[in-house]
Chain A
Amino acid sequence: MKDISKSINKVDNEEKISGKAKYVADYTMDGMLYAMTKRSSIAKGEIVNIEYPDLPKGYFIVNHKDVQGKNIIKMIFEDWPVFTEKNISYLYEPIMLVIGPEKSVLVDIIEHIKITYKEEKPIFAWTDSVIDYHFDKGHGNRIFDDADEIIEHTYETGYQEQAYIEPQGFIGYPEGDKTTLVGSIQCPYYVKNAVIQALGEKDENVRVIQANVGGAFGGKEEYPSLIGCQLAVAVKKIKKPIKLIFEREEDMLVTTKRHPSKTVFKAAIKNNQIIGLKAHVSIDAGATIGLSGVVLSRALLAVSGAYTIDHLDVSGDVYRTNTVPNGAFRGFGAPQMFFAVDMFIEHIAKSLNFDPLEFRENLLVKQGDRTSTNGLFREPVLMPNMIKKVIDESDYKNKIKQYSQKGNFKGIGMSLFFHGCGFTGSGEKNIIKAKVRLKKTKDGKVHILVAAVDMGQGIKTTFRKLIAHMLELDIEEVVFNNPDTDFVPDSGPTVASRTMMIVGGLLARAAKEMKSRWKEVTFTVEKEYEQPDYIKYDELHFIGDAYPAYSWGVNIVEVEVDPVTYQVYIKKSWSVYDVGKAIDEKIVLGQADGGLAQGLAYGYLEVMNHKDGKIMQKNMTDYIIPTAMDMGEMETYLFDNPYAYGPYGAKGVGELPLIGGPAAVAKAIESAINKNIYKIPVTPEYIMELMNND
C-alpha cells in the first residue's frame, strides 16, 4: 500500500483557482435584506436613552428586546450578550442591527440613531482579575530556599489580529419554522447551539451551514456565534433572508484578537543550574471573559517550554479591561508562553556564561519526563535529532559564532517548542464528546459526516484521502461536503489542532468497521470519542496529563537588521516538525509555511495597540501583515513519529508551526544587535530603544 504521506493535489483546487468557490459574500437570495450594526461610542457606561429616526418602510431595528431566548452567547464562559441592553463595557459594543434593502439607507439610519450615555471611567490597567490559577510541580516555591542565585526577567507580548483575508459574515434565512444560517465559520455546532439558546428554539428549528471559509486562524471560532445569534434573531423577527458581512474596518475594530500577555519569570539557580522556576502570567481578556480562562490554561501548561524543570510555581490571572474582547487565535496562549520561556532559558544561559545551545539541549524534555502538571511525556521525543537536522542544514553553529561579533547586524536564532494536541484536559471527554459518521450509499460511495470545516488547512482533501486509503477506494468515491448541521453529527469544533488526530482518528475507527462490513449494500457507522485509559487529568488542581499527545518543532531563522533604520529583514528559515505522521506531506508543508509566517510576523512585524480602548489599526494599511517580499525562503523537514491513537499515527499540525516563530525571530535579532529582547513585536522603535541603552 502507498505511503499515506505521499502528496496528492487538493480536491478543491479547481473551484478555488477558477473563482467559482462560493464564500458567504457571494450568496444572494431573492428579497434579501442587509444588516448593519449600531455600536456604542463609549468604552464604559450605561445607555440612558435611545432616540430613533422614523424608519422608512421595509427597514427594521433588531435589539435585545427581540431576543426570545437568553440574551447571552453560549460558550465556555457565558458573559457575552447577544445585544447590549444597558451596560457598555467596550467601545463599539453591538447594541442593535439595522436592517433593510439599501446599504446607503442603513448607514444614514445608523447615523441618526441618537444614544445618550452615562459615561464611566473605563479600566485599561490590568487590575480586575476575573480568573486566577495556581499550581506547583515538585517543591514549588520552596525550591527557592535552596537557590544560591535568583534570575528574574519579565516578558511581554502584544495583540495579534487574525487578519483572515475574508472578513466575517453570514447570510440567514427562514425555512418554514426553521432559522438557517450560512456563514464563514470554524465551528458549525458552536453557532447552532448558541442560536438555539438565543432564540429559545428547539434543536430541529436551527440549521447552520458552512460556506467556504476564507481563512480563520481562530478568529472564526467563537466570534461567529455572536453575529450568528444577532442575525438569527433578526431572521426570526423579519422572516426574510438577511446578509451581514463585515467590512474590513469593522472587522479589525470589533472582532477578537490574540490576548496581550505579560510573564514574570524567576529562576532558582544552584551550582549554575536551574533547579526551579516561578512564573506569573497575566493576560488581557478585554471586556468579556469568553475563552480567556482556557487560553490562560494552555499558556500555563507550557510554562517550562520544551524543557524539563522539576520544581515549578506557576500562577496566572485573566484581567478584564474595557477593551475589545480577545479570543481564540492559532496557538491559543502557547505562542505567548513559548516566547517568554524560550527567551528566559536563553537569557539564563547567557548570564551564567554557558553556550545557550548546549544549556538548552541539556534541559530538553526526554521520553518519560514529567510534564509541568506531572503528566508523562509517553511518546518518543525526537528533538535531539530534529535539532541536529536544522543546525546542519542552516550551518547554525558557524553562523552564530560569526554573527555574534559586534556590528555586522546579521543574526540567527533558534526556538524549541511543542504543542499539546487536542482540547486541554478532559475537554474532549467532558465537553465535546465528538461523534462522527461514515455512510455507505447504494452507489458504493462513502460519505464523511462530520462538522469539521476546511478553512484552508486542507481537511477536505486529507479526510477523503484518509478514508479512501483505508477502504482502498478512489478519492472520487469518498464524499465530503461542507458541514450542514441538518446532516452531520457534532464532531466538535475545528480548533485546537484536533481535527486530524481526534476527528480523523474517529473516522479511521469507523472506516475499519465499515471495511469489515463492506458487503452490506448501504449502512452507517457511527463512532464516539473515547478517552484513552491512561489520560487522567484533574482540571481544578492542574494535575496529570493535560494532553493525549504532543507535536514538536524547531525553527531556525536568519535575519539582517538595517544598521540605520533598524528594519528587520528575514533572510531564510529552516524548520523541522514531528507531527506524528503527515496525512499529506504537501498540505502539512503548506501549514508549516503559513504558520511560521504568522509566528515570525507576530514576533517582529505585526503591531496592534489600543488608545483609550480604541484599536488604532483599522485596516490592512495600518496593520501590516507579511507580503511576498517579507518572508525569505522557507525550508521545512518532517520527522515521522507515529502516535498510537492518531490515524496512521497523525498528531496535531495546525497550530504548531506558529508557536516557535516569535522566539526564533527575537533571538535572531538578539544575535544581530547583541542585546537581550524582552518583548514582541521587536519593532525598529524597540530596537532603537535597546541600542540607545548602551
Chain B
Amino acid sequence: MTEIKFKLNGKEQTLNTDPNRRLLDVLREDFKLTGSKEGCGEGECGACSVLLNKQIVNSCSVPLANVDGQDIVTIEGFSKTKEYQVIKDSFATAGGVQCGFCTPGMIIATQSLLNTKPRPNDYEIKIGLSGNLCRCTGYNLIIKSVKLAAKDGDGLW
C-alpha cells in the first residue's frame, strides 16, 4: 500500500492502494468513471484513453504510481469543457459515432490532437487518431468529425 495523490478531473485525490494497479482499474472501480473502456488491456486499442497532463495516454498501460502528482482528465471531466461541446457537436453532425465503445477514447484523442495542433491537416489528423482503433466506421466520418471540430472551434485551442 502506498499513498498516491493526483488531480482527477480538477479535484485533488488521495488513495492508499497498490501502486502497481492499472490507472484504468482505479478509474473504473474506485471512482466509478466507466467512460474509459477496456478493449484490449495492452495499450493497443485506445478505448481507455485519458489525458495525463493534457496528453493522451492509454490508462490500461499506466501503473498508478506514475500518476502521483500528475493531472488526469477522463471523458467525464472533459465533458464539462467548452472544447468538449465543439467536439461532441462535430462528431454528432459528421456521423463519427457508431457502436460508441471507442468514442470516448476518440474524443480524448481529438482533444489531445487539437491541443497541440489546432489546425491539423489530414495527415496530422490520421496520426493523431492512429492510436485509437475503431471497427465500425472505417475512420472516414471520424476524420471528418475532427476536421469539423477544428473548423468550428477555431480559436478555442
A interface with B by C-beta (< 8 Å) = 7, 9-10, 12-23, 25-26, 162-167, 212-217, 247-248, 455-458, 586-587, 589-590, 593-598, 619-621, 625-629, 631, 633-634
From DSSP, what is the main secondary structure of chain B's interface residues? loop
- A214's partner among B42, B99, B127, B143 (CB-CB below 8 A) is B99
B40 touches A214 (CB 8 A): no
Residues of chain B contacted by A633 (CB below 8 angstroms):
140
A627 touches B130 (CB 8 A): yes
A621 touches B99 (CB 8 A): no
Which residue from chain B places its CB closest to the CB of A458 in the assembled complex?
B98
A25 touches B126 (CB 8 A): no
A-B pairs with beta carbons under 8 Å apart, 9 shown: A9-B93, A19-B79, A162-B135, A212-B100, A586-B141, A594-B136, A619-B44, A620-B45, A631-B138
Residues of chain B contacted by A18 (CB below 8 angstroms):
35, 75-76, 79, 88, 104
Give the CA-CA distance A629 to B140 in the complex, in Å: 10
A594 touches B97 (CB 8 A): no
A650 to chain B, nearest CB (A): 18
Residues of chain A contacted by B44 (CB below 8 angstroms):
619-621
- B142's partner among A22, A212, A247, A628 (CB-CB below 8 A) is A628
| Most-contacted residue by chain A among B79, B97, B104 (CB, 10 A) | B97
B interface with A by C-beta (< 8 Å) = 28, 34-42, 44-45, 47, 74-76, 79, 87-88, 91-93, 95, 97-104, 107, 125-127, 129-143
| Most-contacted residue by chain B among A16, A17, A216 (CB, 10 A) | A17
A656 to chain B, nearest CB (A): 14
Which residue from chain B places its CB closest to the CB of A9 in the assembled complex?
B92
- A167's partner among B39, B95, B143 (CB-CB below 8 A) is B39
- A593's partner among B39, B100, B138 (CB-CB below 8 A) is B138
Other A-B pairs beyond A7-B95, A19-B76, 11, CB < 8 Å = A12-B97, A13-B88, A19-B34, A26-B28, A214-B99, A215-B98, A456-B99, A458-B98, A628-B139, A631-B139, A634-B138
B98 touches A594 (CB 8 A): yes
Give the CA-CA distance A378 to B47 in the complex, in Å: 45
Give the CA-CA distance A382 to B55 in the complex, in Å: 50
A164 touches B99 (CB 8 A): yes
Which residue from chain A places its CB closest to the CB of B129 in the assembled complex?
A628
A214 touches B137 (CB 8 A): no
Give the CA-CA distance A166 to B139 in the complex, in Å: 17
B35 to chain A, nearest CB (A): 2
A17 touches B99 (CB 8 A): no
Residues of chain B contacted by A13 (CB below 8 angstroms):
88, 91-92, 97
Residues of chain B contacted by A166 (CB below 8 angstroms):
37, 39, 47, 99, 101
Residues of chain B contacted by A162 (CB below 8 angstroms):
135
Residues of chain B contacted by A455 (CB below 8 angstroms):
99
Given known A597-B139, A598-B135, contact A215–B99 (CB-CB < 8 A): yes
B29 to chain A, nearest CB (A): 9
- A626's partner among B34, B92, B138 (CB-CB below 8 A) is B138
Which residue from chain A places its CB closest to the CB of B90 in the assembled complex?
A17
Residues of chain B contacted by A586 (CB below 8 angstroms):
95, 141
A33 to chain B, nearest CB (A): 15
| Most-contacted residue by chain A among B92, B139, B142 (CB, 10 A) | B139
A276 to chain B, nearest CB (A): 38
Residues of chain A contacted by B143 (CB below 8 angstroms):
628
Residues of chain B contacted by A587 (CB below 8 angstroms):
95
Residues of chain A contacted by B104 (CB below 8 angstroms):
17-19
| Most-contacted residue by chain A among B102, B131, B135 (CB, 10 A) | B135
| Most-contacted residue by chain A among B40, B100, B107, B139 (CB, 10 A) | B100
Which residue from chain B places its CB closest to the CB of A252 in the assembled complex?
B40
Give the CA-CA distance A455 to B98 in the complex, in Å: 8
A213 to chain B, nearest CB (A): 6
Interchain residue pairs A-B with the least CB separation, the first 6: A19-B35, A214-B101, A456-B99, A16-B100, A597-B138, A456-B98
